[in-house]
A and B are shown apart, each in its own frame.
Chain A
Amino acid sequence: MMSYLRNPNSPIFSILLSSSTTPNIKSILFSQQNQKLVKRRDVMSGGGNTVTAMGGGGCGGGSGGGGPCGACKFLRRKCVPGCIFAPYFDSEQGSAYFAAVHKVFGASNVSKLLLHIPVHRRSDAVVTICYEAQARIRDPIYGCVAHIFALQQQVVNLQAEVSYIQAHLASLELPQPQTRPPPPPPQHHQSQPLFFSTPPPLSITDLPPSVSPLPSTYDLASAFNQAASPSSWATQQRRFGDPRHQYGGSLSTSSATVGLGGGNSDLEALAHELLHRQGSPPPAATDDSPSRSMSR
């Protein structure tokens, strides 16, 4: 898990960094038990990104000497060897995150979900489940769908702006004696040029009745290295449509953070540190948070 997290192109990092997610979600990512799991895996296999099976060795279970995991601590039950939650919820801060997950999803539902997911993908699943749980607790009505709405609206606004600017460019490039730029669109009263006119109100009923699944071989990590092919937006202003069909499975690299102005300082500092360790220039910092140690 640590080698996966050291990858600055890790999709989970870029997603969570650029979203107004709960602070300290990195404590899930860097739980002590995850570190133990990685160290043991690295010693046994010499590296690699795959997570070994949790069972058979109690590598993440409560019998490892570290006490019960955060989930079993919260549930006040014995943490058995091979506990499905143990690698992802440490005994120190995992309880807090598991509390949210249990409140929204329920321990048994999450357990069933994780059992149906391959072991090497469970860490991502846990992070996204925690994110959704925290989002739902913060916003009991819309949860993380509010964020999706905001992003969708941002896309629509940007696309409108691109269309306007392309029309302006076309007018400049036409060989006419008198070229006047088209009248600008209504601007925000804070005089941000061409940006973000008042968005039309979105409703949850605009969401599609169904969302098609991603391909079974969908791999965000590799897909992030491919360029995305933007699709036509002009007819999708108020409908969410089927985003997986619209965007396809190809995504571009996401090293820069695109936030809504509500980025998480802990996660951003963590991303900066990771990028610095990788030797690549960190993105522009939005705050002066000191770099944090990766080890706990």
Chain B
Amino acid sequence: MNPKRCAACKYLRRRCPKDCIFSPYFPPSDPDKFACIHRIYGAGNVSKMLQQLPVQTRAEAVESLSFEAKCRVDDPVYGCVGIISLLQTQIQNTQALLAKTQAEIAVAQNKQNQ
């Protein structure tokens, strides 16, 4: 077997062609990345998605797919949406703190003016 197979072809137990669509993004040093993506999306779907993208955007697409897949593996029910909800809650809390601090400033300025 070719020792220079990418992680995807290694996982799929197939020969890694020179124009393998996965090889630039799934180095053999990180087998878990493709395993996660394959488990959630499937190799065929990922291949189709990448083929429809310009080459210069594929790296970012793979990273975002990898992130979403990891989130889904860690939290099968909510996936990324769990993180979105946490961030929204954080935003609400920070906005409340901001409003409270602004009110305190108004009070302090009133006291100074008196």
Q: Is the CB of A132 within 8 A of B76?
A: no
Q: Is the CB of A169 within 8 A of B42?
A: no
Q: Is the CB of B74 within 8 A of A212?
A: yes
Instruction: Please give the number of chain A residues whose Cβ is less than 8 angstroms from any Cβ of chain B in the complex.
Output: 70
Q: Is the CB of B93 within 8 A of A172?
A: no
A213 to B83, CA, bound (A): 11
> Can you list 11 A-B contacts (CB < 8 A)?
A15-B84, A18-B88, A113-B40, A152-B87, A154-B91, A165-B102, A204-B63, A211-B67, A220-B78, A244-B74, A247-B90
4 smallest beta-carbon distances between A and B, as pairs: A151-B87, A213-B74, A204-B63, A247-B86
- Is B53 an interface residue, CB under 8 A from the partner? yes
Known pairs A158-B94, A230-B94, A254-B88; A109 contacts B61 (CB<8 A): no
- Is B114 an interface residue, CB under 8 A from the partner? no
Query: Of residues 110 to 169 in A, which have CB atoms within 8 Å of B's CB atoms?
Result: 113, 116-117, 121, 124-125, 128-129, 131-132, 136, 140-145, 147-148, 151-152, 154-155, 158-159, 161-162, 165-166, 168-169
- Shortest Cβ distance from B104 into chain A, in angstroms? 6
- Is A228 an interface residue, CB under 8 A from the partner? yes
User: Which residues of the other chain, A, contact B109 by a CB distance below 8 angstroms?
Assistant: 172
- Is A235 an interface residue, CB under 8 A from the partner? no
Contact of B84 among A136, A144, A168, A173 (CB under 8 A): A144
- Is B1 an interface residue, CB under 8 A from the partner? no
Contact of A11 among B80, B85, B98 (CB under 8 A): B85
Residue of A nearest to B32 (CB): A210
Residue of B nearest to A113 (CB): B76
User: Which residues of the other chain, B, contact A212 by a CB distance below 8 angstroms?
Assistant: 74
- Is A14 an interface residue, CB under 8 A from the partner? yes
Known pairs A172-B109, A220-B85, A258-B88; A143 contacts B104 (CB<8 A): no
Contact of A105 among B41, B93, B97 (CB under 8 A): B41
- Is B21 an interface residue, CB under 8 A from the partner? no
- Is B20 an interface residue, CB under 8 A from the partner? no
- Is A205 an interface residue, CB under 8 A from the partner? yes
Q: Is the CB of A141 within 8 A of B105?
A: no
Q: Is the CB of B68 within 8 A of A144?
A: yes
- Is A289 an interface residue, CB under 8 A from the partner? no
- Shortest Cβ distance from A212 into chain B, in angstroms? 7
- Is B35 an interface residue, CB under 8 A from the partner? no
